[in-house]
Amino acid sequence: MTMTDDTICAISTPAGVGGIAVARVSGKDAIMLVDKVWKGKSLANAESHTAHLGTIVDENNQAIDQAVATVFRGPRSFTGEDVVEIAVHGSRWVQRELINLLVRTGCRIADAGEFTRRAFANGRMDLAEAEAVADVIASTSRAAHRIAMSQMRGDFSRKLTHLHDQLLDLASLLELELDFSEEEVEFASREKLLDIAREIHTIVTRLASTFATGAAIKDGIPVAIVGETNAGKSTLLNQLLHEDRAIVSDIHGTTRDTIEDTIEIGDTLFRFIDTAGLRQTDDTIEALGIQRTLQKITDAHIVLWVIDATAGTDAIGRAAQQIMPKLTDEQQLVIAINKTDHPDADVSATSALLDSITNNVSAIIVNISARQGHNLDGLENALIKASGTDQIPEDQIMVTNARHYQALVLAADSIARAIDALTAGISGDFIAQDIRETLHHLGEITGNITSQDILTTIFSRFCIGK
């Protein structure tokens, strides 16, 4: 991606036919270039933040469409440059002609994410805020949207900037000390330094620890649906997704490979993964499927164990032996006792056995009939509870971006080294080095310190027009 001061254009609304489509033009000549294809009151003297009705006409004075042009004069615009947004009727032909015409007039088609990159380059937002624009656009659930909005508003950046500034103050005192090293003076109080370093360590670690949940909220909380063959896992998946996604049959071992899809329950996006039923098998393909099931248990945040209440207690014991040892403390277990509608279902024996199996693990147990759709509400509530998303305070800052997470982990490491050095009474230059590293990692998130390569990678993930 080249950063130049030319004027760029792109359709900013989704590809396809719509009631209207909006082309965005940004750059120092934006107003002048749009004026060349504009029939109506000239935009040259239009005030910022005003909308004008007119017609887009080509070089032969042929009308392409009636349009509304909204003028934003820099720096008070999204990109910080002069911007004109042209709303036309959303026909594919009109959209194509408009862009072709703008290019013939002197605009360049924008690269992916170039509008947002210009906003960043012109100081309209920092990097974390710019990345949040992409997240807001991509958000598919209320919870994901809330996190992205908070990041776009700059809550996360403000927190980091505050830490960064505090640390920078101390770092400069330390550097000053190094300049006077002959004299053995101490400008930076070691006690104060230690206090602040500890505080920063706590906050950075806490932020990093929100990543697992934050990322899961963004992509869908992974729920592995597991259990013995024929328990009703695929039936349940179809019910949760309100769609016949997986094949259901009374033949044991119907599902061979994992099937996954997302759906929003309450405010939260869940990613359900239906898996091959657990049983002893000589079939090579089925055995590979079962290996995948075990892997999915490891990757899941929530393990949803489906039990066939008609299958007898031996079957529960067998499944438990496979599932329980794989669970970690961070994972939540939800157990669905299924087929409660069936005359052979023995719910009380099943519950009693489960009590002993799960006696030192916290599990939420729900009785359901997947086939009849009984108590699916109860199961959905259990999933929301297990996800913990209803416990996240409204103003909690969540990290959802792997790049930010990595930088936070590195910042936590270097500040921890500084704390060790301070506690051990090690000399100032080592401490200053660790603090400089911490500053560097915090700066990477907001973009104070970021290489052009990283910027290009980040912005190329946007679509054209953003």
List residues near ligand GTP by CB under 6 A. Answer: 229-235, 248-250, 252-255, 276-277, 338-339, 341-342, 369-372
Name which of 250 and 330 has its Cβ closer to ligand GTP: 250
Distance CA 102, CA 58 (A): 9
Collect contacts of 170-173 with beta carbons under 8 A, ≥24 apart.
Answer: 170/196, 170/435, 171/432, 171/435, 171/436, 171/439
Name which of 314 and 329 has its Cβ closer to ligand GTP: 314
**Residues 6 or more apart whose Cβ sits within 8 Å of residue 43:** 31, 34, 35, 52, 69, 71, 84
Binds 440, which of Mg ion, ligand GTP, none (CB < 5 to 8 A, cut-off by type)? none
Q: Tokens at residue 228, please?
A: 């013995």
How many angstroms separate the Cα of 381 from the Cα of each of 22, 215, 413? 41, 21, 38
**Residue 451 CB neighbour total at 10 angstroms:** 9
Least distance CB 226 / Mg ion (angstroms) = 11
Burial of 244 (0-12, 13-18, 19+ CB in 10 A): exposed
Binds 292, which of Mg ion, ligand GTP, none (CB < 5 to 8 A, cut-off by type)? none
Distance CA 201, CA 196 (A): 8
Least distance CB 106 / Mg ion (angstroms) = 59
Binds 210, which of Mg ion, ligand GTP, none (CB < 5 to 8 A, cut-off by type)? none
Q: Tokens at residue 337, please?
A: 């006792």
CA torsion, ordered 344, 346, 347, 353, to nearest 10 deg: -150
Least distance CB 336 / ligand GTP (angstroms) = 9
Binds 432, which of Mg ion, ligand GTP, none (CB < 5 to 8 A, cut-off by type)? none
Residues 465 and 118: beta-carbon distance below 8 Å: no
Binds 350, which of ligand GTP, Mg ion, none (CB < 5 to 8 A, cut-off by type)? none
Name which of 11 and 337 has its Cβ closer to Mg ion: 337
Least distance CB 277 / ligand GTP (angstroms) = 2
Binds 158, which of ligand GTP, Mg ion, none (CB < 5 to 8 A, cut-off by type)? none
Least distance CB 232 / Mg ion (angstroms) = 8
Name which of 141 and 340 has its Cβ closer to ligand GTP: 340
Name which of 255 and 367 has its Cβ closer to Mg ion: 255
**Residues 6 or more apart whose Cβ sits within 8 Å of residue 193:** 170, 174, 422, 431
Binds 330, which of Mg ion, ligand GTP, none (CB < 5 to 8 A, cut-off by type)? none
Name which of 5 and 250 has its Cβ closer to Mg ion: 250
Binds 291, which of ligand GTP, Mg ion, none (CB < 5 to 8 A, cut-off by type)? none
Owner of token pair 């913990």: 388
Binds 266, which of Mg ion, ligand GTP, none (CB < 5 to 8 A, cut-off by type)? none
Least distance CB 281 / ligand GTP (angstroms) = 11
Q: Give the β-pairing of 50-57 and 63-72.
A: antiparallel
**Residue 166 CB neighbour total at 10 angstroms:** 14
Binds 139, which of Mg ion, ligand GTP, none (CB < 5 to 8 A, cut-off by type)? none
Least distance CB 323 / Mg ion (angstroms) = 16
Name which of 339 and 404 has its Cβ closer to ligand GTP: 339
Least distance CB 214 / Mg ion (angstroms) = 31
Burial 202-230 (b: 16+ CB within 10 A, else e): ebbeebbebbebbbbbbebbbbbbbbbbb
Name which of 148 and 276 has its Cβ closer to ligand GTP: 276
Q: Which residue is nearest to ligand GTP (CB)?
A: 277
Distance CA 462, CA 450 (A): 18
Least distance CB 307 / ligand GTP (angstroms) = 10
Name which of 276 and 439 has its Cβ closer to Mg ion: 276
Whether the ω angle into residue 393 lies within 30 degrees of 0, i.e. cis, is: no
Least distance CB 212 / ligand GTP (angstroms) = 28
Name which of 108 and 245 has its Cβ closer to ligand GTP: 245
C-alpha angle with apex 232: 226 to 237, nearest 5 degrees? 70
Name which of 134 and 309 has its Cβ closer to ligand GTP: 309
Binding site for Mg ion (CB under 5 A): 233-234, 254-255
**Residue 66 CB neighbour total at 10 angstroms:** 15
Binds 438, which of ligand GTP, Mg ion, none (CB < 5 to 8 A, cut-off by type)? none
Least distance CB 265 / Mg ion (angstroms) = 21
Burial of 371 (0-12, 13-18, 19+ CB in 10 A): middle
- Across the beta sheet with 363-367, the strand order is 259-265, 268-274, 221-226, 302-308, 332-338, 363-367
